Structure 1
C-alpha cells in the first residue's frame, strides 16, 4: 500500500477512535443511576400520555433522552422482577419464585448470583441502594444489599405494605394510610445497612431520607472522583400511597398523584446533584418500573394506558413498562420502538464500565446499539413467565418482533375491578392450542386474535414463535425456589429483639 494511503488509514482509525472515546466515555468510567418505580403503569407518566400526572422531571428526562415504547420487566410482581433486574437472568434461574418475599422469609436472592453492583465494584465503583430491596433478609440479614455488592443501603427491606399500617400516618399533617396492609407481622422498619434505625417508619419523612442520602452519595463520590452506581428502587407508587409535606396536595390526581409527584421530585434532586457534582455529562440515568399497575386499587392503583390488564398478569399491562435513558451529550433525544428489557441493564452497564461479565448464563443483551443509535436491538424476543412459574407449564407467552403468542392466560386479583373480564381473578388458567396471536404494533391492547384468521401467514408466524420458545426453554434450568423455603416469624426484623410480646413490641 502507498505510504500516503497508509497515513490516511491511520488517521481515519485515529479519528474513529477519538470519536468512540468521546461518545462512550473511554478513559473516564461512566457513572450509573438506576431509577426503579414500583407498580407503575405504562400510562402513568405525563410523557406517556396521562392527562393529570405531575411528572415534570421524568418528562424532562424523556424529552432530552431516549423514551422506550417496548420495554419489559420479567415478572408481573415485585421480587422476581427485581432479581432479574440486578442479575440479568430470569428469576426462574435464580430461584426467586413463586410470588414475593415476606418479612420472615427464609430465602432470598442467592449469594452466588452476581448483581450489577458486584460486576462494577472490582473497577472501583462506589455502590449504594436507596429504597425498597425486597430480595430477602434471612438469618442475621444474610441477603441484605451489603452482602450483594452494595457499599451502602438505606431503605425498607421489603414492600412497605407488608406490615400493619392502619394507624400510621401516610400524608401530613395526620392523614392515615388508606386501606389495610398485612397484619400479624412487625411494623415496617427503616434500615441503614444491617441496622434498624426506625420502626415503624415515618412515611411522610421517608422520601426525604432517601433523597438526602442519594444526593450526598452522588456529591461525595464526585468529590472523590470515584465512579458510582446508585440504585434507587422507589416505593412509589405501590399501595398504600404516601408522601411528605412538599408533595401532599400538589397533584390533581389525588393521593396516587401526590405519591408519583414525590417520586418525580426525588428524580429532580438526583439530576441536580449530578449537575452540582460536575458529573452530569458522565452519568447514564435509566428509569423504569418493576411491574404493571395494581388495578384492583381502582384510581389508587395506576394506569396501563392502552395496554391490557395490569399487575399479576402476563398481558402487556402487567409487564410492559415506561422506560427512559438519559445521558447528555451521549444519548440523542428521541423515541425507540426497539425491544428491550430490564435483563439488558447488567450487560449494558458492564460494557460501558468495561467490567467483566459473570460466568453464568445471561438472558440480557448489551443495549448500546439502541442507546447510541448505531443499530437495531440485539434482543429479538421477550419471554413471559407468570408470578408462579413452574416447569410443567413453562412460558405463558412469547413475543418475537411485533407478534406475541399466548400459550396460557390467566387473570389476577391484582388486576381486578377493570371492565375487561380477562383481567379478573375469576378468569382462571386457560391453555390455548393454537396459541392466541396478536400484532402488538397495531393492537397493543391484545383484542384481536390473529390465530383465528384463515390467513396462512399467521400459521407461519406461530411456527416461528414456537421454534424460538423451544430453543429458549431448552436453556432454562429452574433454580431451587427461594420463596418455597417458607417463613419463620423469628426472622422478622425487630429493633428490640429481646422484647415481648412480639410483634407489637418491636418499636424504636
Structure 2
C-alpha cells in the first residue's frame, strides 16, 4: 500500500470514531456483467446505478462464489465458501428441510453487538425450514420483508407481472404453493402481487433508514432484489419505460429503487456516513434469450464456471470517502463481510473465513490482498474439487461443463450438450487480453504455460487442503408440509393457500 493510502485510511478511521458507518448492501439477481449502462450495455436504462458507478469505485474483476442463487447468498453473508456451510448442491426450494446453518455467523450477526439496526428486504433464499427456522430474523436481522425463496418457485402463469394486466411470461414451478410475501415470520400476502412488490419494499427500506437515522442508530440494510431473475416484473412506474423490453423494465425498476434508497440516505442526513455496495449473485440466465440478462464479452452465463457465470458488476459508493474511479483489483462477495466488519470495528467470527478486507482497494487506490479466485460448480464435491482457479491475470480450467441456464447461445461450450470434461493439461487463459476465454494458452509451443500452470496448481493444492466440506443442507431433502401456507390447516393444498 502506498504512503498516501495509509494516511487516508488512518484519517478515515479516526473520523470513524465519531459515528459508526452505515452499510447498504444491494444484491441483484441473475444480473450479467454486461447488463448495466456503466458496463457497456447500449439500451439498458440504469441512470442511478450509472451515477453510482461514475461517482464511486467500479470493479472490473469482481466475482461471486457460485453461479447459482443460494450458495452465493450464503457466501456473501458469511464470508465463507458455500462448501464450508453446506449450502450446496443447487438451491433451496419451498419445502426444503435445510437452510443456512444457524451456527454460521452472518454479517448481520457480526454487526449486531455494536448496536446496529439490521433489515433484510427482498429475496432470502437461504432456507425456511420448520416454523421459519432459517428466516432472516433468526440470522441476525431485526426485520424481514420479502419472499423466503425465489419468486419463480411457485405457479405464476395466471399472475400479473406488469400493469395493467400483463400476465407473467412462463409457468414457473408448479405443484407447490403460490409465492408468499412474509413480514418477519408471518405471511402477509399469498400469492404475491408483483406490480406492487417493489414499491412495498422501497417504502419499507426508506422507512427503516429514516427511523434509524432519527434514533442516531447505525444500520445495516441488506437489499437482495428479485430483479432481474425470471419471471421479470415491474410496477406502473417501470412498465414500458425501457427500450430493452420486459427485462429492461425490470432492470429499470431495480435502478429506481437504488435511486430512492440514495435519496432516503440524503434526506435523512446520513449519506456521507454510509457505504453503499452493489453487486449480484451470479451471471445471466441466457436460456431466456432476450428475456434474460447479458454477460457482455464474457463467456457463457448462469450455472457455469466460465467468466460469464461468475464475474459480476460491482460498485462501491461513499461520498467523500471513496474516490471515483475504476479498479482492476481482484475481489469477491466473500470480501464484503471482513470489509464491513473492519470499517465498523466489529469482531470477526472465530471460524475459517475466505474473504479479505477491501479497504486498501476502496481507500487510496491500493492493492488487493486477494491473489486468487476459486471456481466451484453449482454441485461441488470433494471428488472433483475446484473446476477452475484464477491467479492474477491467468485462469486455469480443470473441468468445464455447459448448463441448461446458459443454453441458446451460439457458443456450444455453454450448452448442456457440453458435458463434464476434464482437461489435462488444464485450459489456460490470460483474462486481461482474452476475457472471453477464446484462446487456450496451454499449447506445446507456449513455454510459459507450463510454468504458469505449475504455479496455479500449487495455489489450488494449498486451498483444497484447507477446505472442509460441511454437511449438505440440500441433501436433507424436502417435505411438502414445510411449504409456507397462510392457512396452515386448509385443504386441498397447495391450491387453498391463498390470502
Q: Is TM-score (shorter-chain normalized) higher than 0.5?
A: yes
Higher-Rg structure is 1
- In structure 2, distance between residues paired with 1:444 and 1:356: 37
Give the alignment partner of residue 455 of structure 1, picking from 446, 451, 469: 446
- Per the TM alignment, residue 93 of structure 1 is displaced from its structure 2 partner at its CA by 0.1
Tell me which of 413, 423, 438 is aligned to 1:432: 423
Maintained 8 Å contact 1:23/1:330 = no
Out of 164, 169, 182, which is 2:160 matched to? 169
Displacement of 1:454: 1.7
CA contact (8 A) 2:9 2:364 kept: no
Question: What is the CA-CA distance between 1:269 and the residue it aligns to?
Answer: 0.3
Root mean square deviation of aligned Cα? 1.2
**Quick check: 1:218 aligned with 2:214?**
no
| Aligned-partner Cα distance in 1 for 2:389–2:364 | 26
Q: CA separation of 1:365/1:16 partners in 2, compared to 1, >3 Å: closer, same or farther?
A: closer
Task: Give, in angstroms, the shift of residue 23 of structure 1.
Answer: 7.3
Tell me if the contact between 2:94 and 2:149 (Cα under 8 Å) persists in the aligned partners.
Answer: yes
User: Which residue in the other structure is 2:46 paired with?
Assistant: 55
1:157 aligns with 2:148: yes
1:24, distance to aligned residue in structure 2 (A): 5.9
What TM-score, normalized by structure 1, do the two folds share? 0.96
Q: Give a deviation string over 1:260-287, Cα, whole Å, max 9, x none.
A: 0000000000000000010000000000
Instruction: Say whether the 8 Å CA contact 2:43–2:244 is kept in structure 1.
Output: yes
Counterpart position of 1:128: 119
Of 35, 38, 45 in structure 2, the residue corresponding to residue 44 of structure 1 is: 35
Whole-angstrom CA distance in 2 between matches of 1:25 and 1:55: 32
Instruction: Please say if residues 95 and 483 of structure 2, whose CA atoms lie closer than 8 Å, have aligned partners that are also in contact.
Output: yes
**TM-score normalised by structure 2 residue count:** 0.98
Question: Does structure 2 conserve the Cα–Cα contact (< 8 Å) formed by 1:404 and 1:438?
Answer: yes
**Please, which moves more after superposition, 347-356 or 18-27?**
18-27
Partner of 1:357: 348
Match of 1:442 in 2: 433
Separation (CA, whole Å) in 1 of partners of 2:413 and 2:7: 53
Distance 2:179 2:171 in 1: 14
CA distance 1:203–1:438, shift in 2 (3 Å): same
SS in 1 for 2:151: coil
- Aligned counterpart, 2:174: 183
* Matching of residue 298 in structure 1 with residue 289 in structure 2: yes
- Decide which of 386, 408, 413 is 1:422's aligned counterpart: 413
Query: How far apart in 2 are the matches of 1:16 and 1:45?
Result: 34
- The answer to whether the Cα contact below 8 Å between 1:385 and 1:396 also exists between their aligned partners in 2 is yes
Which sections of structure 1, spanning at least 5 residues, go unmatched? 1-14
Match for 2:362 among 366, 371, 375?
371
Q: CA deviation at 1:27?
A: 2.5
Q: Secondary structure at the match of 1:450?
A: coil
Partner residue of 2:256 out of 265, 272, 279: 265
Following the alignment from structure 2 to structure 1, what is the Cα–Cα distance between the partners of residues 417 and 443? 24
Is the CA contact 2:8–2:363 (under 8 Å) kept in the aligned structure 1?
no
Q: How far did 1:458 drift?
A: 1.2
CA distance in 2, matches of 1:16, 1:264: 35
SS at the partner of 2:275? strand
Indicate yes or no: 2:460 matched with 1:469: yes
- The one of 230, 243, 251 aligned to 1:252: 243
Match of 1:482 among 473, 477, 493: 473
SS in 2 for 1:109: coil
Residues 9-48 of structure 1 show CA distances to partners (whole Å, capped at 9, x for unaligned) of: xxxxxx9699614776233110000000000000000000
Aligned residue for 1:196, secondary structure, equals strand
- Secondary structure of the residue aligned to 1:312 is coil
Distance 2:161 2:389 in 1: 40
Contact 1:68-1:335 at 8 Å conserved across structures: yes
Q: Aligned match of 1:499 in 459, 483, 490?
A: 490
1:118-168 deviation digits (Å, cap 9, x = unpaired): 000000000000000000000100000000000000000000000000000
Give the 3-state SS of the residue equivalent to 1:452 in structure 2: coil
Q: Which of residues 112, 117, 121 is equivalent to 2:108? A: 117
SS at match of 1:421: coil
Tell me which of 195, 198, 209 is aligned to 2:189: 198
Pair 1:332 & 2:323 matched: yes
SS in 2 for 1:451: coil
Q: Is the 8 A contact 1:20 1:26 kept in 2?
A: no
Give the Å deviation of 1:453: 4.7
Matches within 5 A, 1:388-407: 388-407=379-398
SS at match of 1:423: coil
Distance apart, 1:375 and its partner CA? 2.0
Number of aligned positions between the proteins:
494
Separation (CA, whole Å) in 1 of partners of 2:69 and 2:12: 38
Alpha-carbon offset, residue 338 of structure 1: 0.1
- Equivalent-residue separation in structure 2 for 1:463 and 1:456 (angstroms): 12
Q: CA deviation at 1:389?
A: 0.2
Partner Cα distance (2:90, 2:477) in 1 = 12
Deviation at 1:185, TM superposition (A): 0.1
CA 1:239–1:375: 2 relative to 1, 3 Å? same
